[in-house]
Chains A and B, each alone.
Chain A
């Protein structure tokens, strides 16, 4: 019975088609980057009002650079897609009364939070694996082979990065009335900290993981502290979300 809500989440996700469209959207997103980079000289030549005889020299990016830009793309638009797909998680069930009903069945809040968190964590992990697989496929066909170990490390860091952001989102979604507000806060914090971290040397912050997942492709990196703080942050977010889960809509 412990996993009943978890299983229900998957059923709901399938009915919702979320199980299909989120991975496919991320895969298309990942495929676009190598394709654009490969055809960039053609696109520029046909698009701009350049005089005849203009020669554009664009150095061919290395496979690692291509994968780096895929990682950036997934971190920005991919994260937005995943969070948007999760936006209504608590807010909708609160309005519909599902959360209040679950509470009346004496189901602990931690189980509700954990089931949903585990569902989205798995969904985004699988989506990223598929997306990175697509990116690797196009990179090999259009460019060249690349260092597999670096790529695996980069993918792993990307997944942890997504899980951290999802956990922060779930924390705010549990505390606040509106899923949209929770989404905006999560992305806002993400944006501000990414900006700050380009000036300040706080290498240990979890928000570094995104950038590190890109850097892992081109240089040696140390990830111990960001990983440790990420795990602490995920744990804290889940505990607070479980303790403070808002069961009833304030307006009702």
Chain B
């Protein structure tokens, strides 16, 4: 793929993706640390958020928090 040889274009492709992922990750972690109680052990959710790309934080937002 000829685009891969052009660092400028590569940056244009990767930067927004990384930024969006970072937002998800950071927001999920802020929420996790502020929350007194989660749906299951906190450290498991931390692993899920950090190690599962994109889907991890989303799953946490949907099911990780207690009903409150």
Which A residues are CB-close (under 8 A) to B28? 17, 21
Check A142 for interface membership: any CB of B closer than 8 A: yes
Check B58 for interface membership: any CB of A closer than 8 A: yes
15 A-B interface contacts by CB (under 8 A): A17-B28, A17-B61, A21-B27, A24-B20, A24-B23, A24-B24, A25-B24, A28-B21, A28-B24, A35-B13, A35-B17, A81-B58, A85-B62, A88-B67, A141-B12
Shortest CB–CB separation between residue A84 and chain B, in angstroms? 6
How many angstroms between the C-alpha atoms of A141 and B15 in the bound complex? 13
Contact A21 to B61, CB < 8 A, known contacts A88-B67, A141-B12, A142-B13: yes
Q: Which of B13, B23, B62 has a CB less than 8 Å from the CB of A84?
A: B62
Query: Binary interface profile of A, 73-85, with partner B (CB < 8 Å = 1, else 0)?
Result: 0000000010011
Check B31 for interface membership: any CB of A closer than 8 A: yes
Check B54 for interface membership: any CB of A closer than 8 A: yes
- Residue ranges of A at the interface with B (Cβ–Cβ < 8 Å): 17-18, 20-21, 24-25, 27-28, 31, 35, 38-39, 42, 81, 84-85, 88, 92, 95, 134, 137-138, 141-142
Q: Who on chain A is nearest to B1 by CB?
A: A42
Which A residues are CB-close (under 8 A) to B31? 17
How many angstroms between the C-alpha atoms of A18 and B30 in the bound complex? 13
Query: Binary interface profile of B, 5-27, with partner A (CB < 8 Å = 1, else 0)?
Result: 00001001100110011011001
**Chain B contact residues: over half helix, strand or loop, or mixed?**
helix
Shortest CB–CB separation between residue A124 and chain B, in angstroms? 16
- Residue ranges of B at the interface with A (Cβ–Cβ < 8 Å): 1, 3, 9, 12-13, 16-17, 20-21, 23-24, 27-28, 30-31, 54, 57-58, 61-62, 67
How many angstroms between the C-alpha atoms of A25 and B3 in the bound complex? 26
| Cross-chain contact A21 with B58 (CB below 8 angstroms) | yes
How many angstroms between the C-alpha atoms of A141 and B3 in the bound complex? 10
Which B residues are CB-close (under 8 A) to A21? 24, 27-28, 57-58, 61
Which A residues are CB-close (under 8 A) to B27? 17, 20-21
**9 A-B pairs with least C-beta separation:** A21-B61, A20-B27, A28-B20, A17-B27, A17-B31, A24-B20, A24-B23, A24-B24, A25-B58
| Cross-chain contact A141 with B9 (CB below 8 angstroms) | yes
| Cross-chain contact B24 with A92 (CB below 8 angstroms) | no
Q: Which of B1, B61, B62 has a CB less than 8 Å from the CB of A39?
A: B1
Which B residues are CB-close (under 8 A) to A27? 20
Shortest CB–CB separation between residue B50 and chain A, in angstroms? 16
Which A residues are CB-close (under 8 A) to B58? 21, 25, 81
List 15 extra interface pairs beyond A20-B27, A85-B61, CB under 8 A.
Answer: A17-B61, A21-B27, A21-B57, A21-B58, A21-B61, A28-B21, A28-B54, A31-B17, A35-B17, A38-B1, A85-B62, A95-B67, A137-B16, A138-B13, A142-B3
